[in-house]
Homo-oligomer: A and B are copies of this chain.
């Protein structure tokens, strides 16, 4: 039956970033809805941000399109060229290859909830543009590898 049972769905609170870089996403949780339903062409995450949590470090994808849809609360979309408040019903898209680093940060005092949709490419590069995000992340055959901006592996 294609309707998902979310009552005991795995909720991921960890972050794949190496070391201290993962602190940026403290208070973030995700349910991977697409994975849970057996999909592999795109991912759809139900992402919940506690006050002060961020969705990610500011990044852009070389090959994977992205879309976010705000479900509840208020958060700030931080991009290389400015900030935009997002509220329930707001939508933002990020075309693959457009070098505009972006992340969503919850600066409110309530939870913010959003859907994140992204293509699943087998090979990918994510470039991080915020000064705190000293990373370049490369996916090869579905496995992520983390590098500093100077090319050194984490």
Contacts and interface: CB of A to CB of B under 8 A. Distances in A.
Interface residues of A, number: 39
Contacts of A89: 6
Q: How many copies does the complex hold?
A: 2
Interface stretch (A15-23, A48-56, A76-84, A130-138): A76-84
A93 B1 CA distance: 9
A34 B77 contact: no
A93 B41 contact: no
Interface string A31-44: 00110111111101
Interface in A90-127: 90-96, 100, 102, 115, 117, 119
A87 to B, nearest CB: 10
